[in-house]
Structure 1
Amino acid sequence: MTPKCSLGCYFAVFPMVALFASLASAQSTISGQVRDSSGAVMAGVKVEAASEALIERSRTEATNENGRYTIVDVRPGLYTMTFTLPGFSTVKQEVTVPANVSVPVDAEMRVGAVGETVTVEAQVATVDVETTARPQVLTRNDMDVLPTARNPQSMGSYTPGVHLNLPDVGGSQQIEQTYLISHGNPSARDTYLLDGMMVNTMQNDGQIQIYIDNALMQEVTYNNANNSVEVTGGGVVANFVPRDGGNEPHGNLFLGWIPSRFVARRYRSVRRAKN
């Protein structure tokens, strides 16, 4: 193989590898351990995660000899976890899974009659104990009620440790983009992902970003510390999770404006008008 051919193959394969790595970062994981009422681990328990966020509607795994299970590559959404084993009561539990986290869901099973189901209503704390990253999640409700310009930069300024390079009051900087800065990293080191796929532009080394329609987002995660190896920069990592379709038509309308009394005028102009 000639050097030119080898170089061409390298540049053809490398973007594909980078794309697959970024896609993997968009998914979450559900894992945990199953025990009986005495505290002993239980192997062979059927664990099912069902949600409308999954194309196949549900995924199934079985616990290993240590009573542990892991369900990988799950999309954000509300999941119903079902634990079943012959001779034991079925356990059901609902859990909300954000993006880019590993959610622990444990279960305790007890001996019961056939067809008996135990529904656990306790709130599961989605504390990721497997990774050091601590992304901040903005849900669809957060984006609707927070007073932002509804662009990625304005929403990201609500993340602790992140600020904008210019003031953006009510979206006044909507045309001229503001940039996210965190821990001294320049905005060119920020990474923007759409469902895990990098969407940084080539302008100014990725500093100038595209505009993503806020209406298509289900949730957004911002991370500005302990970034994973899938990203090349040490700045803010924003992952935009789009909404999933369904069988029912939906729609919404958003109107935004700034009253004239909210717009400041120069002092000299005001003084000249009074005189």
Structure 2
Amino acid sequence: MRGRALLLRSVALALLLFSAAAAWAQTDVTMARITGTVKDEQGQPLPGALVEAKNQETGLMARAVADTNGFYRLLNLPPGVYTLTASLSGFATLEKSDVRLVLGSAPTVDFTLPAATTAETVTVTAETPLVEVTNTTVGATILNEQIKSLPLNGRDFTSLVYLTPETRRESQRGYISISGQRGINTNVTVDGVDYNNAFFGGQYGTAEGRAPLAISQESIKEFAVITNGASAEFGRSGGGFVNVITKSGTNDIHGT
């Protein structure tokens, strides 16, 4: 009985760890993150510094505290434009506005806090876009501004996929072909969920002679096309990847 109970506990623990890993991978697919350091003007780390990120569209707040090396990490941030603030008692508060996070991005944003005898805030406008020197992914991100402003035949957002080099639409089935691979080898996800036909391959809703099911252009926030160098969160494909996220609510009222 003890052996059986131990086996059941081991299986339950393995399933729990697997589920957590899957959830973490899905979060990385649909979100973004920011890392960096907080130091003083002499280059010494400032442990305990508070770093806050505020989404300018929704007001979402995320906070992190710098560790003993001055390193901080902000995870699970929805794509959008943020204002970052770093503060610590005895130092001036530094604010960086207009930090743009796109789908799957992980920029490094460092802070250098000057000493302050009175309360003051220094505001810096971030350079856009931020360069990710550790990102080896080859592809492109199609932003919401492009989806709204560029002409689309039939208002099909997938037509914008072909702005990315090494992509084309298959003439017979209408699948998205990447890097010369057959369209059935392209992996498409929407909000982290598989959007592929499990039987025929290709985009969901397709079969011989049928076009893929379409998602409204108005529903799409942005999407990334990865032609090479995809990270471990992506898989199940011999071709490339199209990673789509849909819009969420904001503090403003919009209509069409």
Q: Distance in 2 between matches of 1:81 and 1:122?
A: 10
Match of 1:273 in 2: none
What is residue 170 of structure 1 aligned with on the other side?
none
Select which of 69, 72, 79 maps to 1:69. Answer: 72
1:184 paired residue number: 180
Correspondence for 1:250: 254
By how many angstroms is 1:128 displaced? 2.2
* Matched-pair contact (CA < 8 Å) for 1:54–1:74: no
Structure 1 pair 129–152 and aligned structure 2 pair: CA distance change class (3 A): same
Q: Deviations 1:207-244 (Å, cap 9, x if unpaired)? A: 53431111011111111111223321132311222112
Larger Rg: 1
Give runs of aligned pairs for residues 159-198 of structure 1, distance below 5 A: 159-166=164-171, 178-198=174-194
Give the AA of the match of 1:77.
G
- Structure 2: stretches of 5+ with no match in the other structure: 5-11, 207-211
Question: Size of the alignment, in residue pairs?
Answer: 232
CA shift at 1:162, angstroms? 1.2
The residue type paired with residue 162 of structure 1 is T
Give how far 1:152 is off.
4.3
> Residues 168-202 of structure 1, C-alpha deviation per residue, up to 9 Å, x if partnerless?
xxxxxxxx852222222211111111122222223
Question: Structure 1 pair 234/17, CA: closer, same or farther in 2 (3 Å)?
Answer: farther
Deviates further, 191-200 or 91-100: 191-200
Give the aligned partner of residue 92 of structure 1: 95
**Contact preservation (8 Å) 2:226, 2:242:** yes
Counterparts of 2:149 and 2:21 in 1: how far apart (Å)?
35
Aligned match of 1:226 in 203, 226, 229? 229
1:205 is matched with which residue: 195, 201, 205? 201
Cα separation, 2, equivalents of 1:23 and 1:59: 15
**Partner residue of 2:242 out of 238, 241, 259:** 238
1:136 Cα deviation (Å)? 1.1
The two structures have a TM-score, normalised by structure 1, of 0.75
CA distance in 2, matches of 1:19, 1:200: 18
Partner of 1:260: none
Amino acid at match of 1:109: L
Higher relative contact order (CA 8 A, sep 6+): 2
Is the Cα–Cα contact under 8 Å of residues 54 and 75 in structure 1 kept in the other structure? no
Deviation >6 Å, runs of 4+ = 15-19
TM-score by length of 2: 0.80
Q: In 2, distance between residues paired with 1:227 and 1:237? A: 8
Give the distance between the partners of 1:42 and 1:17, measured in 2 at CA.
Answer: 32
CA distance in 1, matches of 2:185, 2:215: 19
Change (3 A) 1:177 1:115: farther
What percent identity do the matched residue pairs reach? 25
Moved more, 114-123 or 243-252: 243-252
Distance 1:104 1:69, change over 3 A: same
SS of the residue corresponding to residue 30 of structure 2 reads coil
Q: 1:152 to 1:228 in 2, by over 3 A?
A: farther
**Could you say which residue in structure 2 is the equivalent of 1:49?**
53
Q: Residues 108-152 of structure 1: CA distance to partner in whole angstroms, max 9, x if unpaired?
A: 110013420000124154222333224411112111222333324
Instruction: Specify the alignment match of 1:217 in structure 2.
Output: 220
Query: Aligned to 2:152, which of 143, 148, 153?
Result: 148
Cα RMSD (Å)? 2.7
